[in-house]
Amino acid sequence: MSLNVHSSIVPNFALSVGGLTAYIQRLLEQDDQLRQVWVTGEVSSASKYRSGLFFTLQDPDAKAAVSCVVWHSQLDKLATLPEPGEQLILLGRISLHPQRGSYQLIVWQALPAGEGLLALRYRQLRNRLEQEGLFDPERKRPLPAHPQTVAVVTSPQAAAWGDIQRTLKRRYPGLRVLFSPALVQGEQAPASIVAAIARVERDRRADVLIISRGGGAIEDMACFNDEFVVRAVANCSIPVIAGIGHQRDESLADLAADVCAHTPTAAAEQAIPSLSDLHAEHQDRVQAFNSAVMNYLEVEHDRLQDLRDRFKRLKLDRQLKQEAQVVTWLRQRLIQSTQRSFQEAAQYHQLLQEKLATLDPQAVLQRGYAVVRQMNGSIARSTSGLSPGQDLSIQLGQGRLIVKVTKVSEASSTFNE
């Protein structure tokens, strides 16, 4: 009977220890939640070997513990070394040790418990945004010298809002102030701040934006390290002044803003000039202008007096006589030059007349020459075309003859013949 019972519960297949261990190892090491996990607890023991630092992290309240190891190559990268009795936050992955059949935490980073995790997240976000260039000085815009409208993003219950109102009213009475309320503490604060900034941008009246809150604990300032808030500040189309009331640490919103003032009052003072200061500066400029004008008038007066003295020292009669002599000399030169030109023209005219007289046909006739014309008036230039018995007209220096040709000599005959 007993044999039958035992035989009925005997399995057909059983896992080996190695198989079971491998199965559990796959479950642990392939779980996305356990590949990178944050664990907090108290260090109960620690032993350092050549391969690394082995210690136990326990939870005294829950009566639980986990074995941990930091390999030697990772020790220098830890923010703090695990020591017995210390409360730590560890970052690592779960790994199964097959020989012992137990799991352990392979540690990559160790931080002091409490603010350690927040500080790590702060540094990681800051480094990432800094690499994107959100904090570069080149992105910073100058504040307007004389803004007409100032927008304020803060809580209506915050003391910062009252400080800003009093400061703006004292420094610049009549300034237009736009209030965009927002939560500045708690889980809903980041979304509220982003929405308040967006309202100011949509309004389009503000020349400068103040984002502010009063002082508080580090936890209270967490909303100003939120990535969405930082990006809203960095990408705001209006110059932003961060007036967050804390002096110990800079928030990421401070780094992204165009101007950082560590108190709400200082932020309001940065946003606008003081009318009393402007009045004093105006008086200084008026005084400087008056001084410049007086100096200019004095210099020009001295210059005018100098010219008057020089004018008196000039002997004008002597200069006029000298100028008259020069004019007389120039007049004589002009007359001489004109007479010379007339003489040269007369001589040239006489020469032309003589040349013209030599070419006058009447003068040629007076010297004994004659012009022989046929009866039709054409000049007989040769014997060709003439015949005996033909009548010709001969023009002499004085008078004219009508002759008849009795003989025509050959063309080769000379005049003497």
CB 160 within 8 A of CB 132: no
Question: What is residue 215's predicted lDDT score, i.e. its pLDDT?
Answer: 73
Average pLDDT, the chain: 84
Question: What is residue 400's predicted lDDT score, i.e. its pLDDT?
Answer: 83
**Each residue's pLDDT tens digit, 100-147:** 888 999 999 998 876 555 666 778 889 999 999 999 999 999 999 889
Domain boundaries, given as residue ranges, for the chain: 14-114, 121-137+147-273, 365-404
Distance linking the first and last C-alpha atoms of the chain: 197
Phi, psi of 342 (to 5 degrees): -65, -45
Q: Which residue is listed with tokens 């995790």? A: 117
Element holding 20 (H helix, E strand): helix 17-29
**Each residue's pLDDT tens digit, 36-83:** 898 988 898 889 999 999 999 998 777 889 999 999 999 999 988 998
Question: What is residue 74's predicted lDDT score, i.e. its pLDDT?
Answer: 92
Q: Which residue is listed with tokens 């603010």? A: 115
pLDDT-wise least confident of 236-245, 253-262, 270-279 = 270-279
pLDDT of residue 9 exceeding 70, the answer is no
> 14-114 has which CATH code?
2.40.50.140
**Each residue's pLDDT tens digit, 297-338:** 899 888 888 888 777 766 666 777 888 888 999 999 999 989
pLDDT of residue 415 exceeding 50, the answer is no
CATH topology for 121-137+147-273? Rossmann fold (3.40.50)
CB 57 within 8 A of CB 39: yes
Percent of the chain with pLDDT over 70: 88
Question: What is residue 417's predicted lDDT score, i.e. its pLDDT?
Answer: 42
Q: How confident is the model at residue 3 (pLDDT cuts 50, 70, 90)?
A: very low
**Each residue's pLDDT tens digit, 142-166:** 999 889 999 999 999 888 899 999 9
HSE (side-chain half, CA atoms, 13 Å) at 103: 18
Domains 14-114 and 121-137+147-273 share a fold: no
Q: Do the bridges between strand 208-213 and strand 371-374 make them parallel or antiparallel, or are there none, so unpaired?
A: unpaired
Q: At what angle do helices 227-234 and 189-203 cross, to 10 degrees?
A: 20
pLDDT of residue 10 exceeding 70, the answer is no
Percent of the chain with pLDDT over 90: 35
User: Higher pLDDT residue, 383 or 181?
Assistant: 181
User: Higher pLDDT residue, 17 or 366?
Assistant: 17
pLDDT-wise least confident of 290-294, 306-310, 392-396, 411-415 = 411-415
Question: What is residue 229's predicted lDDT score, i.e. its pLDDT?
Answer: 95
**Each residue's pLDDT tens digit, 198-234:** 999 999 999 999 999 887 666 677 899 999 999 999 9
- Over residues 271-292, the mean pLDDT reads 82
pLDDT of residue 5 exceeding 50, the answer is no
Give the integer Cα–Cα distance in Å for 297 and 314.
26
Question: What is residue 416's predicted lDDT score, i.e. its pLDDT?
Answer: 47
- Over residues 362-386, the mean pLDDT reads 77
